[in-house]
Structure 1
Amino acid sequence: MSLSYVLQLGVHYKLQEIGGSKMEFALKKEKTSLKVVFISYYFLIFFGIGGLFPLLSVYLSDVVKLSGTQVGIIMSISPVVMIFAQPLWGIISDYTQQPRLVLTITLLCTGIAGFLFSLTTDYYVFVLLSALLAFFQSSLIPISDSITLNYVQKVHGDYGSIRLWGAIGFAISVLTVGRLAEVFGLHVIFYVFAIILVLASYLARYLPKESQTMQVRLRDGVSQLVKMPKFVLFLVITFLIFGPIYANNFYFGLYITDIGGTLTGVGLAFLFAAGSEAPFMKVAKAWISRFGMLHILLLSAFISGVRWLFYFMEPPLGAVYATTVAQGFSVGLFIPAALQYVRDLAPVHVRVTAVSIYAAVGNGLGSWFCTFFGGLILETYTTSTVYGFFGLLTFLGCALTLLLRNIEQKERS
Structure 2
Amino acid sequence: MIIAGRALRTLPFFWMTKGVFSSMQSTKELHRQARNTYLYYSISFLLFCTCYSCLTYNTAYYLEIGLSNTAIGIIQSANSLGAFLLPPLMGVLADKMRSMRKALLLCISLNTLCFALLPSLRTFMPLLLLTSVFAGFRNAADSLNMTWIVSELEQKKKQGIFLNYGSIRIWGSIGYSLSCIVLNLLMSRLGLTNEGSFYIGAAGMGAMMLFLLFGSDRSSTSAAPDVTPQKHKTLTLKQLKPSRLLHNYYYLTYLVVYILIWLASCFDLNYTTHLLEEIGVSTAFLGTVSGVRALFEIPGIFFSAKLAKKFGYEKCIIASGIAFTLESFIFLYAQNSMMVLAAQALHGLFDGLFMGLYVTYLFTLVPHSLAATTQTINMALANVVAMVFFLLGGTIIDRLGVRPVFYVAAVIPAAGVLWFIITLAIGKARKIPRYDMAQDPIEQALQQ
- TM exceeds 0.5? yes
Partner of 1:291: 311
Q: Specify whether residues 70 and 282 from structure 1 end up closer, same or farther in structure 2 by C-alpha distance, changes over 3 A only.
A: same
Q: Say which is worse superposed, 23-32 or 242-251, in terms of deviation.
A: 23-32
CA distance in structure 2 between the aligned counterparts of 1:112 and 1:68, rounded to whole angstroms? 27
Residue 49 of structure 2 contacts residue 172 of structure 2 at CA under 8 Å; is this kept in 1?
Answer: yes
Contact 1:222 1:353 in 2 (8 A): no
- Cα deviation, 1:184-209, whole Å, max 9, x if unaligned, reads 22221211111111222122212321
CA distance in 1, matches of 2:100, 2:421: 42
Map of 1:11 onto structure 2 = none
* Matched residue, 1:210: 219
Which deviates further from its counterpart, 313-322 or 131-140? 131-140
| CA deviation after TM superposition for structure 1 residue 59, in Å | 1.0
Take 2:145 and 2:401, find their aligned partners in 1: how far apart are those partners? Answer: 38
TM-superposed CA distance for 1:245, in Å, is 1.4
Residue 316 of structure 1: aligned partner: 336
Instruction: For 1:158-237, list aligned pairs within 5 A.
Output: 158=163, 159-182=165-188, 183-208=191-216, 209-212=218-221, 217=240, 219-225=242-248, 228=249, 233-237=253-257
Indicate how the Cα distance of structure 1 residues 221 and 315 shifts in structure 2: closer, same or farther if over 3 A, else same.
farther
Write the distance in 2 (CA, Å) between the matches of 1:347 and 1:103.
Answer: 20
CA distance in 2, matches of 1:238, 1:161: 21
Q: What does residue 116 of structure 1 align with?
A: 117
Structure 1 unaligned residues grouped into runs of 5+: 1-19
Does the aligned pair in 1 maintain the 2:112–2:205 contact within 8 Å? Answer: yes
Partner residue of 1:64?
65
The whole-number CA distance in structure 1 between the counterparts of 2:352 and 2:399 is: 33
The question of 1:394 aligning with 2:417 is answered no
Provide the aligned C-alpha RMSD in A.
3.6
SS in 2 for 1:314: coil
Scaled by the length of structure 2, the TM-score of the pair is: 0.74
- Tell me which structure has the larger Cα radius of gyration: 1
Cα distance, 1:391 vs structure 2: 0.9
SS where residue 187 of structure 1 aligns? helix
Residue 307 of structure 1 deviates from its aligned partner by 0.7
Residue 240 of structure 1 deviates from its aligned partner by: 3.0
Give how far 1:125 is off.
0.6
Is the 1:72–1:375 contact (alpha carbons within 8 Å) kept by the matching residues of 2?
A: yes
Residue 91 of structure 1: how far off its partner (Å): 4.3
1: CA distance, partners of 2:345 / 2:194: 26
Q: Which amino acid aligns with 1:384?
A: R
- Kindly report which structure 2 residues correspond to 1:1-12, keeping only aligned pairs within 5 A, or say none: none
Which stretch of structure 1 is more off in the superposition, 333-342 or 63-72? Answer: 333-342
- SS of aligned partner of 1:75: helix
Residue 40 of structure 1: aligned partner: 42
Shift of 1:56: 0.4
1:320-359 maps to which residues of 2 (within 5 A)?
320-335=340-355, 338=358, 357-359=377-379
Q: Hey, what's the Cα distance between the residues in 1 that align with 2:99 and 2:374?
A: 26
Residue number in structure 1 paired with 2:298: 278
CA deviation vs aligned residue, 1:130-174 (integer Å, no higher than 9, x gap): 122124324423444455455543563634433322221112122
Contact 1:178–1:264 (CA under 8 A) maintained in structure 2: yes
